[in-house]
Amino acid sequence: MITPASRTPANRHHKRPRGEGQWALGYREPLNKNEENKKNDDGLNVRQRIIDIYSKQGFDSIDPADLRGRMRWFGLYTQRKPGIDGGKTAILEPEELDDRYFMLRVRIDGGQLDLAQLRAIADISNDYGRGTADVTDRQNIQLHWIEIESVPDIWERLEAVGLSTTEACGDTPRVILGCPLAGIDADEVLDATEQIQEVHDRVVGNPAYSNLPRKFKSALSGCPAHCTVHEINDVAFVGVVNEQGEAGYDVWVGGGLSTNPMLAKRLGVFVRPEQVADVHEGVVAIFRDYGYRRLRHRARIKFLVNDWGPEKFREVLETEYLKERLPDGPAPELPRGRRRDHVGVHRQKDGNFYVGFAPKVGRLDGDKLHAIADIAERHGSGRVRTTVEQKMVILDVAPERVDSIVAELEAADLQVKPSTFRRQTMACTGIEYCKLAIVETKAAASDLIDELERRLPDFGEPLTINVNGCPNSCARIQVADIGLKGQLVVDENGDQVEGFQIHLGGSLGANAGFGRKVRGLKTTAKALPDYVARVVSNYDGQKKEGESFADWVQRADEADLK
């Protein structure tokens, strides 16, 4: 285990810099309320209080520091009280925004589910969550309307099938992204399943890493399509083959979006599979020890990496934490294809097929989850996967069963051959449940899909549309072809209404970059379909052969983007 640092600055004669709360430099006193709460009690300790006290005495018995802080360590956030408009999001006190119900996030590392697990989530959704179930863009499933009295039974049900909500939220190592096709894709560089499990077992629920400066997001994959979006994770291990023909991982650190987006940087090392857990643990420990804790908005590892640079980060990792040098390694090959979502029917390396399908903007319900489990049981081996694009995949379908499973999924409105708009539109939770949101997202995105399918039925180019309810970019607006950031805007009548600031031409992969913001480019929610249909039609009419939307945006006249 990587032990906590107890270091002092290398040069004692220099003037002590302003403290950023970096433990390794001796700044151990809490510099804000969040750090004080974590020092007072580890978030992992709230579990027993939920079981022994809060679930028995009810919502009003919950300590505010637990309610709005430590309960996140077990995947629990209070939802937004109904009827509070977006204009009050930043004005009201937390207790005024809090409902007496919770969002509960079930962590699904690597996106891997079996039938018992999927059915357990479905039952919990129906029994305790009013049927709600959303697949997130980090492969989790979120439930809503959860009462504190129900939480111990929910945990028992989840843990009985090998699932957990431990550190699904909070200042912790959150869910580990993995390719849903790990072990079955004929073109994968390597199968990362064992490494994901080892990383999970090392850090999740481990008190050594349960007080990080802020959340920490990991990805680990050998997928040739780079489906785990390594460019925007805190740490990512990407499958590569070195000059000796050995499969291993390239390591990226410091990616993240929100209000200060940054792309991850390569460390340039080659990590063998058996070294992954050590390297991952070292990166987490660097964040714990050197991460900035003074200002909450700078408490992500991307700021440390940006200030240090990848060379210094690598040096500290190797010399202080791993105690060994890592060999240099190659960069990953460019992603296979222009879509990274695994939707459709594709052959596995064993001759069977996997079938990826698209729930609309990730929104499902308990009954639909049961239907998916039943379909997977009839036609596959029972292995189901979630993706980072709010989609799902059923594995191990025999060739003679493909037509049948496609028909059943399509009949359930789980489209295997969706339009571009259904396939590549994502939306965050939005004002329906989220206390940070300013506008509604799920219904707006769903309606947008319907309208674009009606207006542009023949459009077939790859095009990502990401809809976010606030500036925090849970739906990755800056790296979308069309990124929509929720805010209040003024309509033609001078009234303040829900709307979106527009980012255009963001992308990941070969030419990764953030979307272009055109001065004053906003739209009301009502006018959103008109705007998107217009700009997509302009692209469709002007694009050169093989030209992506992001490339077109860089050369397009501003008039064609409005």
Residue 196's CATH number: 3.30.413.10
How many structural domains comprise the chain?
Answer: 3
Per DSSP, what are the bridge partners of residue 256? 262
Between CA 138 and CA 110 the distance in angstroms is 9
Residues 383, 507 within the same domain: no
- Supply the DSSP string of 440-461, one letter for each residue: --HHHHHHHHHHHHHH-TT--S
**Residue at which a domain ends, from 282, 301, 335:** 335
Q: pLDDT tens for the chain, 562 residues: list them.
A: 565 443 334 444 445 556 899 999 999 999 999 999 999 999 999 999 999 999 999 999 999 999 999 999 999 999 999 999 999 999 999 899 999 999 999 999 999 999 999 999 999 999 999 999 999 999 999 999 999 999 999 999 999 999 999 999 999 999 999 999 999 999 999 999 999 999 999 999 999 999 999 999 999 999 999 999 999 999 999 999 999 999 999 999 999 999 899 999 999 999 999 999 999 999 999 999 999 999 999 999 999 999 999 999 999 999 999 999 999 999 999 998 778 889 999 999 999 999 999 999 999 999 999 999 999 999 999 999 999 999 999 999 999 999 999 999 999 999 999 999 999 999 999 999 999 999 999 999 999 999 999 999 999 999 999 999 999 999 999 999 999 999 999 999 999 999 999 999 999 988 899 998 888 899 999 999 999 999 999 999 999 999 999 999 999 999 999 9
Residues 327, 359 within the same domain: no
Residues 390, 427 within the same domain: no
**What is the separation of C-alpha 296 from the centre of its chain, rounded to a whole number of angstroms?**
20
Instruction: State phi, psi for 123 to the nearest 5 degrees.
Output: -65, -45
Cα dihedral value 408, 413, 418, 419, nearest 10: 150
Handedness of CA 152, 157, 160, 162 (dihedral sign): negative
Residues 406, 450 within the same domain: no
Handedness of CA 441, 442, 444, 449 (dihedral sign): positive
Residues 488, 431 within the same domain: yes
- Supply the DSSP string of 2-37, one letter for each residue: PPPP----S-TTSPPPPP---GGGT--S--SHHHHH
475-516: per-residue pLDDT in tens? Answer: 999 999 999 999 999 999 999 999 999 999 999 988 899 998
Residues 401, 435 within the same domain: no
Residue 148 in any domain: the answer is: no
Residue 453 in any domain: the answer is: yes
Residues 364, 415 within the same domain: yes
Residues 223, 325 within the same domain: yes
Residue 62 in any domain: the answer is: no
509: nearest Cα among 551, 472, 467: 551
Between CA 223 and CA 212 the distance in angstroms is 29
Q: How many helices (H) and strands (E) would you count in the chain? A: 17, 20
Residues 237, 350 within the same domain: no
312-341: per-residue pLDDT in tens? Answer: 999 999 999 999 999 999 999 999 877 888
Range of the domain at 363: 344-419
Between CA 392 and CA 478 the distance in angstroms is 24
What is the pTM for the complete model shown? Answer: 0.95
Residue 374's CATH number: 3.90.480.10
Please answer whether residues 445 and 465 qualify as being in contact, where contact means their C-beta atoms are separated by less than 8 angstroms: yes
Residue 271 in any domain: the answer is: yes
46: nearest Cα among 163, 170, 154: 170
Residue 143 in any domain: the answer is: no
Residues 414, 295 within the same domain: no
**Residue at which a domain ends, from 374, 402, 419:** 419
**Residue at which a domain ends, from 403, 419, 435:** 419
Residue 9 in any domain: the answer is: no
Residues 277, 388 within the same domain: no
Residue 157 in any domain: the answer is: no
Please identify which residue in the block is written with the tokens 């295997």.
416
Please answer whether residues 423 and 417 qualify as being in contact, where contact means their C-beta atoms are separated by less than 8 angstroms: no
Residues 544, 470 within the same domain: yes
Between CA 412 and CA 359 the distance in angstroms is 10
Residue 53 in any domain: the answer is: no
Enter the tokens of residue 218: 């990991």
